[in-house]
Structure 1
Amino acid sequence: MSGKFGLGNYSSRKHISISVPSSTEVMSPHIKSVEELRVLGINLNSFNTPTQFFICVAGVFLFYLIYGYLQELIFSVEGFKPFGWYLTLVQFGLYSLFGLVELQLTQDKRRRIPCKTYMIIAFLTVGTMGLSNTSLGYLNYPTQVIFKCCKLIPVMIGGVFIQGKRYNVPDVSAALCMSLGLIWFTLADSKIAPNFNVTGVILISLALCADAAIGNVQEKAMKLHNGTNSEMVLYSYSIGFVYILLGLLSVGGLGPAVSFCSQHPVTTYGYAFLFSLTGYFGISFVLALIKLFGALVAVTVTTGRKAMTIVLSFLFFSKPFTFQYVWGGLLVVFGIFLNVYSKNRDKMKLPSLADLRKRVLSGRKVRLLSQDV
């Protein structure tokens, strides 16, 4: 009977031993932190992929829309425009404090990503946020935001060189459509906006270059070392805080900024706290998007958020308007659709040119037959 069921040569087979830990053995905090991706106390791993994406997108839109409103509100304070770097210093300090508090609430407090990597990420973060904040002293807020949307192409280029990625035709087409729409928007703004300044264009362009690299560097570091969001925020922004502080001390820009803000504490430090709090919550969801879906998807979502921010900026703050903004915005929306389609082509099967040709020919045949009858 043993031969019938193939048990005769049982002893010659290889064995696989599976050990089950006892109730006294506890899984290491490192393993728990890898299995559980938490954002603001929400365990995203307990949801399916579409729900994870919806939660991350909702968090990005909610907090960053408030963030954008407060940012423009701060720079609308008379006399504040020259102090963009000081606002970035305050923002980095608060981000570091928030990250420290969140990290203390987690079980695993170890730093996994090397300090050298964090120094690079901090430098890029200082570049993208500091130059972006400073550019608002020279540009209208919608123009600054629309420039930042252009980082889709640099992110793709950075993905090729940093991570060796390859992108398909829909991704490239999406980037081209978005860029053409943004160029159209910028040209319209240069004609009618009173605050348009070439210095602001240079500043936001440099911020764009740093922003293009940071998403890919963060994605690679978090996947390679299994770093947590709170760890990434704490170390990158605390090191960046030191960078900005040394820079302001070297050029003598700290004293005038502190003097001005001390005279207007509510409209500067008060708004800056809320601005930093919503930005911190927003960056937590962006980092979750990067870790779960990649840098390109995160950029696409944040680009859509920026388009909504522009609409709200025109509604809440008075500024010149032209319909060229609308046409440029539609091109950007079409580019976003192409990018989403490229990521979900299996679920969103659009007819090919050959299929459309067959449908047209079959429709003609039906009409001819109906006429003959």
Structure 2
Amino acid sequence: MNSNTKFIFCALGIFVSYFYFGILQEKVTKGKYPVEVVQDDGTITEVNEKFTFSLALVFGQCFVSYLFAKGAVLIKGDPEDRSNGLTKLYGATSLTYLLGMVCSNMALQWVPYPTQVIGKSAKPIPVMLLGVLIGKKSYTLKKYFFVLLVVIGVVLFMYKDQANIKSNESSFGFGELLLIMSLTMDGLTGGMQEVMRAKPAKPTGEQMMLNMNFWSCIYVVLALVFTGDGLSFVAFAKRHPVVLFNIGMLSIAGAVGQHFIYIMVAQFGPLPVAIVTTTRKFVTVLASVVFFGNTLITRQWVAAMIVFGSLFLDAYYSKSGARPDKEIKK
């Protein structure tokens, strides 16, 4: 298939996979886990435990994604080892990727979910800037402008009016600082992925996914051992075996979505991936309007037109430009 068709196919794969992933994640993290507790007076009451094992959840995703990538490499039959000379880069990129995820999840302890979504919507900006500084990428002014419009559109769409914000919520605090750190880690990850793509032995999406998840598994296992969360999760899973099935299905959905992401990174670079994953959140909310009859205010309709208009213009000018590749290496 040609590059445009492949891009659309991968984008749809990301949308569908992570839509199902989000449903399962909600089921795992917000589900009810009843357990009987014997009180001091001898009576037995039933209470609901909370799932608090984010490290175990991340390990499940990384391990299944590693197996998925390993299988994809074997099926594809790629005899070339494209990880030569990239070991340190894979290790560093995996670390920044995990730190970005951890900072983003930790931020939810101090900021509401809509604030986290709005903050992470700016992801394409650090990915673009650090792609220039680290990955030695070069973009046209139009590209900068269209990416900025997409981010503005998503923020406008997700923005929560001041009247709906609690008066005791601080304007800036530790949660917002964690979001900034998460965005910085996202930018560093994108920049180092650009460096990978510039290497003579350019890795395929499957090779990149395989090595990134290999290192991620090592980091998460070390964290599980040192924090003691590994043993705690085993005890929790014994009490609630259904959580293993749900984590398994979630990890499979995440592995499929991640496969599409790494194919896009290898073929098109991390910036288009950041735009697609940012737009995915926006489209998910917009889909609720179409399928469930939720209403939008005028500001949100304007934001929708900004996002889709910016994406259309970016695709149009990228395709019709005089140079075959607008994003040229320096």
TM-score with structure 2 setting the length: 0.75
The verdict on how the C-alpha distance between 1:287 and 1:164 changes in structure 2, with shifts beyond 3 A counting, is: same
Post-superposition Cα deviations, 1:317-358, rounded to whole Å, max 9, x if no partner, equal 9x99976555555544444344334423449xxxxxxxxxxx
**Does residue 1:248 correspond to 2:220, yes or no?**
no
Choose the corresponding residue for 1:117, options 79, 89, 102: 89
Counterparts of 1:175-254 in structure 2, within 5 Å, are 175-184=147-156, 187-188=159-160, 192=164, 199-224=174-199, 225-254=201-230
**Does residue 1:92 correspond to 2:62, yes or no?**
yes
Q: What CA distance in whole angstroms lies between the structure 1 residues aligned with 2:316 and 2:94?
A: 33
Post-superposition Cα deviations, 1:140-196, rounded to whole Å, max 9, x if no partner, equal 5554344322111111101211222222232222233334344445651776378x8
* Identity among equivalent pairs (%): 28
Post-superposition Cα deviations, 1:236-286, rounded to whole Å, max 9, x if no partner, equal 1121111122123323333333333433332x3222222211221112112
The verdict on how the C-alpha distance between 1:320 and 1:82 changes in structure 2, with shifts beyond 3 A counting, is: farther
Give 1:55's aligned residue: 9
The verdict on how the C-alpha distance between 1:324 and 1:218 changes in structure 2, with shifts beyond 3 A counting, is: same
Counterparts of 1:123-162 in structure 2, within 5 Å, are 123-136=95-108, 141-162=113-134
8 Å contact from structure 2 (residues 209, 262) kept in 1:
no
Give 1:16's aligned residue: none
Give 2:31's aligned residue: 77
Choose the corresponding residue for 2:246, options 261, 268, 271: 271
The 3-state SS of whatever aligns with 1:172 is helix
Question: Which one is further off, 110-119 or 275-284?
Answer: 110-119
The 3-state SS of whatever aligns with 1:344 is helix
The verdict on how the C-alpha distance between 1:128 and 1:315 changes in structure 2, with shifts beyond 3 A counting, is: farther
8 Å contact from structure 2 (residues 100, 182) kept in 1:
yes
Choose the corresponding residue for 1:344, options 302, 316, 319: 319
**What is the alpha-carbon root mean square deviation over aligned residues?**
3.4
Choose the corresponding residue for 2:235, options 259, 266, 269: 259
TM-score with structure 1 setting the length: 0.67
Provide structure 2 residue ranges, at least 5 long, that are not aligned to the other structure: 33-48, 323-330
The 3-state SS of whatever aligns with 2:76 is coil
8 Å contact from structure 1 (residues 177, 334) kept in 2:
no
**Does residue 1:168 correspond to 2:140, yes or no?**
yes
8 Å contact from structure 2 (residues 120, 183) kept in 1:
yes
The higher radius of gyration belongs to: 1
Post-superposition Cα deviations, 1:194-242, rounded to whole Å, max 9, x if no partner, equal 8x89554443432222222323322431452222222222221121111
Post-superposition Cα deviations, 1:19-74, rounded to whole Å, max 9, x if no partner, equal xxxxxxxxxxxxxxxxxxxxxxxxxxxx2233222322222222122222322332
8 Å contact from structure 2 (residues 94, 215) kept in 1:
yes
Q: What CA distance in whole angstroms lies between the structure 2 residues aligned with 1:138 and 1:237?
A: 29
**Does residue 1:285 correspond to 2:257, yes or no?**
no
Amino acid at match of 2:220: I
What's the offset of the Cα at 1:134?
4.3
Choose the corresponding residue for 2:74, options 81, 89, 104: 104
What's the offset of the Cα at 1:312?
5.3
8 Å contact from structure 2 (residues 147, 275) kept in 1:
no
Amino acid at match of 2:191: N
Q: What CA distance in whole angstroms lies between the structure 1 residues aligned with 2:143 and 2:177?
A: 27
